[in-house]
Amino acid sequence: MSRLPPLKALRVFEVTARQGSMTRAAQELHVTHSAVSHQITTLEDALGVRLFDRVGRRLKLTSQGLDLLPAVTHAFEAITSATERMGRPVNSGKLSIACMPALLSFWIMPRLGEFTSRYPGIRLTFDSASDQEQRWNGGADIQIVYGERNWTGYWFRRLSDLALFPVVSPTLMNNQPIRTVGDLGKQVILHADEGREWRQWLASADALSLPLHAEHAMGDARLAIEAAVHGHGIAMGDSISTADLLARGQLVAPFRMSVPAANVFYIACRSEVRQVPVVNAFTEWMFDELEREPQLAPGRMSNWPIRRSSSRSRSRSTVK
């Protein structure tokens, strides 16, 4: 890595370029004219180029100086902004969060009161766009993402593994009992990913070739789960998003078999805001909530009560 020019000299360069005068730069920096001149010379020697030409009583940036100024200005503005954010008290401020719709609706929203009670002065803005790339480009302070950890320039921390399993409303279950995997062929299958997770689960149940009666493709997992709650079919649930719905009896899991999801949830933020107090506050609150539900904490998916059935029971096309 190339050595950076002296930071003090860069600061003097930025002020001098903005003021167009070493005298006015010296006044802003509360130093002497000769001190400013010395720092400019130091920077030019370090870079091996001239940064200013004198035009009358004013200084004019050379082409090299014009190239350097925007980068230096942006860097100092970013440093100033970051230090100002860090100086804000943790109990106040604004924070924008982009999150998968199902996780936001079914897990974060029911617990939002806990965060508000702890940090009443933090104003939250949520974005639940289904398109993950759209959320990345939305400028949110915090992202809660589902996928591989392959984004550069971001700090990541794994939230939780996921177990996947079918879920259905108790009413539909009572009206159309589901006792074996074969019974799924008589139901409406709800999916939000072109059926990939369903195919994964059916493959584990030795039922990938099962003929299906009907299917609905939803825009995201939240819509599929909501449709299941209303009795419109069977959705693929997961150990986080549907945990509360199962606990409240709004959904039931007809089979005691789950499969691990291909991806996991991560909480992420841009590296430069990682230590901002309000970012830390929300991040730590998320993990505190997960720790209160041990079966959801990272690396503990095996504690989820729905387990893969034995191969013997799968061979009878019954998963209980």
Confidence at residue 234, expressed as pLDDT on a 0 to 100 scale: 96
The tokens for 121 are: 């002065």
Any idea which fold 7-86 has?
A: Arc Repressor Mutant, subunit A (1.10.10)
Local confidence band at 91 (pLDDT 50, 70, 90 cut-offs): low
**Is there a common fold for 7-86 and 91-320?**
no
Confidence at residue 275, expressed as pLDDT on a 0 to 100 scale: 80
State residue 168 phi and psi, 5-degree precision. Answer: -150, 155
Confidence at residue 316, expressed as pLDDT on a 0 to 100 scale: 36
**Neighbour order of strands in the sheet with 214-217:** 214-217, 188-191, 234-238, 163-167, 259-260
DSSP string computed for 137-176: TTT-SEEEEEE-S--TTEEEEEEE--EEEEEB-HHHHHHS
Residue 17 region, left (φ>0) first, then alpha (ψ -120 to 50), else beta?
A: alpha
Confidence at residue 311, expressed as pLDDT on a 0 to 100 scale: 34
Section 93-102 average pLDDT: 90
Local confidence band at 55 (pLDDT 50, 70, 90 cut-offs): confident
Local confidence band at 192 (pLDDT 50, 70, 90 cut-offs): confident
C-alpha torsion angle, residues 233, 236, 241, 243 (rounded to 10): 80
Local confidence band at 310 (pLDDT 50, 70, 90 cut-offs): very low
**Residue that wins the pLDDT comparison between 24 and 294:** 24
Q: Above pLDDT 70, what percent of the chain?
A: 83
Task: Please state which CATH number belongs to domain 91-320.
Answer: 3.40.190.290
Q: Find, among 104, 216, 236, 235, the residue nearest to 162 by Cα.
A: 236
Instruction: Judge whether residue 54 has pLDDT over 70.
Output: yes
Local confidence band at 100 (pLDDT 50, 70, 90 cut-offs): confident
Instruction: Judge whether residue 163 has pLDDT over 70.
Output: yes
Confidence at residue 124, expressed as pLDDT on a 0 to 100 scale: 95
Domain-wise residue ranges, the chain: 7-86, 91-320
The count of C-alpha atoms lying within 13 angstroms of the C-alpha of 104, restricted to the half-sphere facing its C-beta, is: 21
Section 174-199 average pLDDT: 91
**Residue that wins the pLDDT comparison between 216 and 151:** 216
